Amino acid sequence: AAPRVARSTAEYRVLDAAHHLHPFSDMGTLNRTGSRVITRAEGVYLWDSEGHKIIDGMAGLWCVNVGHARKELAEAAYRQMLELPFYNTFFKTTHPPVIELSALLAEVTPPGFNHFFYCNSGSEGNDTVLRIVYQYWLVKGQPSKKYVISRTNGYHGSTIAGASLGGMGYMHEQMPSKVEHIVHIDQPYWYGNGGDLSPEAFSLNCARQLEAKILELGAENVAAFIGEPFQGAGGVIFPASTYWPEIERICRKYDILLCADEVIGGFGRTGEWFSHEYFGFQPDLLTMAKGLTSGYVPMGAVGLQDHVAAAIIENGEFNHGLTYSGHPVAAAVAVANLRLLREGGIVERVKTDIGPYFQKTLRAALADSPLVGDIAGTGLVAGIQLAQYKGDAQGLGRQRFANGGEVGTICRDFCFENDLVMRATGDRMLLSPPFVITHEEVDELVGKARRAID
Ligand code: PLP
């Protein structure tokens, strides 16, 4: 169908350049080349203002899990806007959609998650995690527990606290200082870093860095450890199976809260409802966003294990909140989304059908590519490492081509010009398609990815 556009593409580009600072964008380059104007989306496809049909290999930004343009979600938002769009609804009062949502979340999250705090994004979710962690240890009479340990190359958002928790050096460089008492250990990225060690032994060593850091700081000063069960924005880095059980053991031994950032991994991306279930560990706090509403409207949430919730509740006033905490429209959309994911069998299909098909097809298509090293992932998420030659464990890294671009960025831009959305991090190409993708669409996606890499 023809896209609905009110202005010419050229006009849109002029106005776009005149008025916007785009997130995570080089504005000079973007303004010279002109932004692509995306006007419509349906299922796994996007259309631009010139009528090009683009396959969305990233589900937007890892979030449009039920696919684009679902009537169920649009109708839920419409109905809720007419019923109760907003009031000071959640500060000391409540409302039906958010109650339905929490009852559903208590069912789809693992046992012990019965309390939820709502916000608008993953970044705000991780800010909230910090507040809960500090409050928890105050209530427990251990105010010296202040340090939060995170990992290099982790991504936890772009607010000051989110970026401080994150391990992206380029984000820290823009800040005069990080939030105090946040320290990082190495990420468990074996490929190119593991030397002679097996992935299992390497991951175990990385996990034990946590113990060394706790001993260095003193367990009485360490409040929490936070990590993405698999690192998403960092390149889809999957630790070996030895990693998380060891992290969990160390956190329990030294009485440290274990926080899982499930902003990307939550709501079925790995085929499990939450990616920490895939890795087999039990966090105390759970950050959620993106897939909670399939990105249709902004919403984030933090899940608290019962013992954490009890400590916060017994202390009286919790001095944290956002105007739109538990927003009725976002909550109504999240309920419709979770029902689709569960009753519509969409998460189940990632586990039993489309996830395995995607992994098998992708790996088969890239098996003889001389430019592909590591392929990581499960379910509907994958990271593909670009190498200089087969077996090149160092990869192309952040090596620059003669024209000044990074290898992943060049590949990503080439994909987009050829109507395929992939993301890039250094030398890794990333895929995370909507869960409703069909077998034929997987074939198309993977075929385009192979041609782009070639
Ligand atoms: N945590 C993780 C693991 C993420 O991947 C992201 C965003 O990509 C965030 C937090 C931040 O979420 P938001 O961009 O909604 O603030």
How many Å apart are CA 132 and CA 377, to the nearest integer? 31
Across the range 351-370, mean pLDDT stands at: 96
Taking the centre of ligand 1 as the mean of its atom positions, its distance from the CA of residue 214, in whole angstroms, is 26
Q: Is the CB of 119 under 6 A from ligand 1?
A: no
Same domain, 181 and 264: yes
Is residue 31 domain-resident? no
pLDDT class of 19 with cuts at 50, 70, 90: very high
- The answer to whether position 426 is within a domain reads yes
Q: Is the pLDDT of residue 402 over 70?
A: no
Residue 374: pLDDT band with limits 50, 70, 90? confident
Instruction: Give the model confidence (pLDDT) of 414-453 as tens digits.
Output: 999 999 999 999 889 999 999 999 999 999 999 999 999 9
pLDDT band for 315, please (50, 70, 90 cuts).
confident
- H/E run at residue 372: strand 372-378
CB-ligand 1 contact for 250 (6 Å cutoff): no
Residues 243 and 377 reside in one and the same domain: no
Instruction: Judge whether residue 2 has pLDDT over 60.
Output: no
* Ligand 1 neighbourhood includes 156 CB (under 6 angstroms): yes
Q: What are phi and psi of 142, to 5 degrees?
A: -125, 65
The torsion angles phi and psi of 393, rounded to 5 degrees, stand at -70, -15
Confidence of residue 65 (pLDDT cuts 50, 70, 90): very high
Atom of ligand 1 nearest to the CA of 228: 3
Phi, psi of 308 (to 5 degrees): -75, -45
**Per-residue pLDDT at 4:** 61
Q: How far is the CA of 403 from the centre of ligand 1 (A)?
A: 31
pLDDT band, very low/low/confident/very high, at 387 (cuts 50, 70, 90): confident
Tell me the pTM: 0.96
- Judge if the beta carbon of residue 59 lies within 6 A of ligand 1: no
Helices (H), 5-95: 9-19, 27-33, 59-62, 71-83
Q: Are residues 378 and 308 in the same domain?
A: no
In the chain, count of helices (H) and strands (E)?
17, 15
Asked whether residue 252 is assigned to any structural domain, the reply reads yes
Mutate to test the pocket of ligand 1, among 261, 290, 324, 425 (most ligand atoms within 8 A of CB): 290
Q: Is the CB of 123 under 6 A from ligand 1?
A: yes
- Ligand 1 atom, smallest distance to 61 CA: 8
Confirm if 83 and 271 have CB atoms less than 8 A apart: no
pLDDT digits (tens, 9 = 90+) for 211-264: 999 999 999 999 999 999 999 999 999 999 999 999 999 999 999 999 999 999
- How many domains is the chain partitioned into structurally? 2
The pLDDT, as a whole number, for residue 176 is 81
Instruction: Tell whether 147 and 253 lie within a shared domain.
Output: yes
- What range does the domain containing 398 cover? 36-57+345-453
* CATH number of the domain bearing residue 369: 3.90.1150.10
Residue 407 has pLDDT above 90, yes or no: no
Q: Does residue 177 register a pLDDT over 90? A: no
Give the distance (Å) from ligand 1 centre to CA of residue 83. Answer: 30
3-state secondary structure the chain: CCCCCCCCHHHHHHHHHHHCCCCCCCHHHHHHHCCCCEEEEEECEEEECCCCEEEECCHHHHCCCCCECCHHHHHHHHHHHHHCCCCCCCCCCCCHHHHHHHHHHHHHCCCCEEEEEEECCHHHHHHHHHHHHHHHHHHCCCCCCCEEEEECCCCCCCCHHHHHHCCCHHHHHCCCCCCCCEEEECCCCCCCCCCCCCHHHHHHHHHHHHHHHHHHHCHHHEEEEEECCCECCCCCECCCCCHHHHHHHHHHHCCCEEEEECCCCCCCCCCCCCHHHHHCCCCCEEEECHHHCCCCCCCEEEEEEHHHHHHHHHCCCCCCCCCCCCCHHHHHHHHHHHHHHHHCCHHHHHHHHHHHHHHHHHHHHHCCCCCEEEEEEECCEEEEEECCCCCCCCCCCCCECCCCCEHHHHHHHHHHHCCEECEEECCEEEECCCCCCCHHHHHHHHHHHHHHHC
**For the residues 385-411, what does the mean pLDDT come to?**
72
Report, as an integer, the average pLDDT of 6-34.
Answer: 93
Confidence of residue 370 (pLDDT cuts 50, 70, 90): confident
For ligand 1, say whether the CB of 230 is within 6 Å of any of its atoms: no
Q: 299, 315, 343: which is the final residue of a domain?
A: 343
- 232 CB within 6 A, ligand 1: yes
- Which of 284, 308, 343 represents a domain boundary (last residue)? 343
More confident residue, 407 or 213: 213
Q: Which atom of ligand 1 is nearest to the CA of 231?
A: 3
Task: Compute the average pLDDT of residues 298-327.
Answer: 95
Binding site membership of 121 for ligand 1 (Cβ less than 6 Å): yes
Q: Domain end: 318, 343, 368, which one?
A: 343
According to the model, what pLDDT value does residue 401 have?
60
Q: Residue 99: CA atoms inside 13 Å, Cβ hemisphere, count?
A: 5
CATH number of the CATH domain containing 332? 3.40.640.10
Are 296 and 420 within one domain? no
89 and 49 co-located in one domain: no
The maximal CA–CA distance of the chain, rounded, in angstroms, is: 63
Whether the CB-CB separation of 268 and 344 falls below 8 Å is answered with no
| Same-domain check for residues 43 and 107 | no
19 within domain boundaries: no
**Same domain, yes or no: 288 and 363:** no
Verify that 436 and 337 share a domain, yes or no.
no
Quick one: which atom of ligand 1 is closest to the CA of 290? Answer: 15
CB 122 less than 6 A from any atom of ligand 1: yes
Ligand 1 nearest atom to the CA of residue 62, by list position: 8
Residues 328 and 372 in one domain: no
